[in-house]
Structure 1
Amino acid sequence: MTTYQDDQPVGYTVKLAPASSEAFPLAAGQTLSVILDDGPQVLDMLVFGTERHGERFSASHTRMRHGTRLTTGHQLISNSPHERALLTITLDTLHERDYDSDRSLHGHDILYPPCSRPYRSRRYGLDSNGCFENLTAAIVAYGFSERDVHDPFNLFMRTGIDAHGALGFAPSAAVTGDRITFLAEEPCLVAVSTCPSASSGDPRSVSVHTGLQTPPKGSTS
């Protein structure tokens, strides 16, 4: 990981290497932007509310409120009994290019779990970490464990459901310079993993800019 203070008013930009992860504590009102530096790259993202025990992003509550095609103005909703907005999407440069009429493919995914070592072994014959293991490594410095890894919001992952109800994914429609920005509605911890699996194509590095005034702790990259 390379961390440097950039020309934005306050904050740090973290350069995530391929197949790596990092976690970012955010105060309410701070922003987090994920920027593609070198073409399409899928990132799995976890979100935990840090003021209420057990609060975390809920893909199912978010789908129920906004559907499966999340973009600017939509919010990431937490699990029961909390059911409140943790993050709001304030910018999404991909949304104009993320729709395919044949498979209803969407540019950000809210259907798939994180890839994992068992999944990568079954699908690709590889004995290597997936996003599940990498996200676990990112959150342990903040008192979480593998049991806390929930279904993620998969950024720039192009997925859909076909006419027979089967899930599928296709190459990402994202390009260099695409970004998605979130506003923290509540104090939270956000963890992201640059996915090493086929949904990303060739793994690439990604920049994450946050309103943090000091670098994140517990770097895993």
Structure 2
Amino acid sequence: MKPEHGEVAEPPDAAARRSVAPVICYPVSGLPAPDLDAYRAAREGWSKVDEVIVPPREAACFEVPAGSFFRIVSVEGSQVGDLNLWAAGDLTERFFSGKTRALHGTHLSTGDRLWSSLPYLRPMATITHDTLDWYGFDAWGGSVHDVIGTRCDPYTHRLLSGGEYHHCCHSNLTRALAGRLGMALEAAEPAIHDVLNVFMCTGFTRDTGQYFMKASPVRPGDFLEFFAEIDLLGALSACPGGDCSSEHSSDEAVCHPLLVEVYRPLAPPRGWSEPPRNGYSRRHGADGA
């Protein structure tokens, strides 16, 4: 149980302290905005070049060349997915959910970008279409496609229940990456990272500030579409929580497959070029500069 608030008496200026207006930590007005019209125009005449079915309670890997599109599609029933992304050929450059959250907010939709880890810090993918963008934020503060959770994992499961469970998203992603690259599980596991929770509906409770989930609004035919800004290796887990209306890491929840589709446009979007890695010198002031 969390400690109760109010155990310490309020100071005389408590109301004044609470009334201080917030300041956005990372204003993004200086970032170049993605040209969504150009991305959308590039869909004209595109061709589907690959598709991958992600089985329920499993994960699968896929590749997307820079300048191509990919979709994560609900095909049979309400199901959430946990997404990892790496720069193809370099597992050290991976999706950075924390910085993505700091730049774009707790939940992502059309026009938001998925940023890579330090020291690279560049856009890996841009969300170009979201059939659930109508959902917004509900009365509980819940919304869809979050970057506030991590991924269900066997360590937390053991901590809370004392049991072993191997088909949680962390383990699913580990097996998928190890199988794709011919690595031992122990070598692949450190590359697994915090995810984009695709289709998952989440938020924070107002009273205790705890992370909550609720039944996903996703239905068959819904999809989240991305443009690959760099060559990508992806892994997607069809979460064992199904639509996450009840619990994580369970064989009881009804689960469904997810579909990943990769599309190649006839030509790159107008004016597009692959983003370079971050230009910081990496001197870190060690030379007194």
Which TM-score band applies after superposition, normalised by the shorter structure?
0.7 to 0.9
1:119 to 137, 156, 159: 156
- Worse overlay, 20-29 or 136-145: 136-145
1:69 Cα offset (Å) = 2.0
In the alignment, does 2:189 pair up with 1:152?
Answer: no
In structure 1, the partner of 2:52 is 14
If the length of structure 1 is used for normalisation, what is the TM-score? 0.84
Instruction: Give the Å deviation of 1:98.
Output: 4.5
Identity percentage over the alignment?
30
RMSD: 2.1
After superposition, residues 21-170 of structure 1 pair within 5 angstroms as 21-50=59-88, 54-101=92-139, 103-121=140-158, 127-129=164-166, 130-140=168-178, 141-142=180-181, 145-163=188-206, 164-170=208-214
Is the CA contact (8 Å cut-off) linking 1:98 and 1:158 kept in structure 2?
no
Q: Where in structure 2 are there 5+ consecutive unaligned residues?
A: 1-45, 246-252, 265-289
User: In the TM superposition, what is the alpha-carbon distance from 1:66 to its structure 2 partner?
Assistant: 0.5
SS at match of 1:22: strand
* Counterpart residue type for residue 127 of structure 1: E
User: Gapped runs of 5+ residues in structure 1?
Assistant: 1-7, 213-221
Contact (CA 8 Å) 2:48, 2:261: kept in 1 or not?
no
Alignment correspondent of 1:218: none
Residue-pair matches, total: 204
1:120, 1:178 → 2: CA distance?
A: 30
CA distance in 2, matches of 1:123, 1:42: 22
Q: Is the 8 A contact 2:146 2:200 kept in 1?
A: yes
CA contact (8 A) 1:25 1:190 kept: yes
Alpha-carbon offset, residue 123 of structure 1: 5.4
Equivalent residue number for residue 3 of structure 1:
none
Instruction: Please state how far the C-alpha of 1:118 moved relative to its aligned partner.
Output: 3.3
Does residue 212 of structure 2 align to residue 174 of structure 1? no
Q: TM-score, normalised by structure 2?
A: 0.65
**Paired residues of 1:98 and 1:173 also in contact (CA < 8 A):** no
One-letter amino acid of the counterpart of residue 13, structure 1: E
State the match for 2:274 in structure 1. Answer: none
Question: Any idea what SS the aligned residue of 1:86 has?
Answer: strand
Letter in 2 for 1:28: A
Taking CA–CA contacts closer than 8 Å with sequence separation of 6 or more, which of the two structures ends up with the larger relative contact order?
A: 1
CA distance in 2 between counterparts of 1:72 and 1:108 reads 11
Deviation at 1:44, TM superposition (A): 0.3
Structure 1 position 197, deviation (Å): 2.1
Q: Distance between the aligned counterparts of 1:190 and 1:53, measured in 2? A: 11
Deviation at 1:116, TM superposition (A): 1.6
Residue 220 of structure 2: SS of its match in structure 1?
A: coil
The CA deviation at 1:161 is 1.2
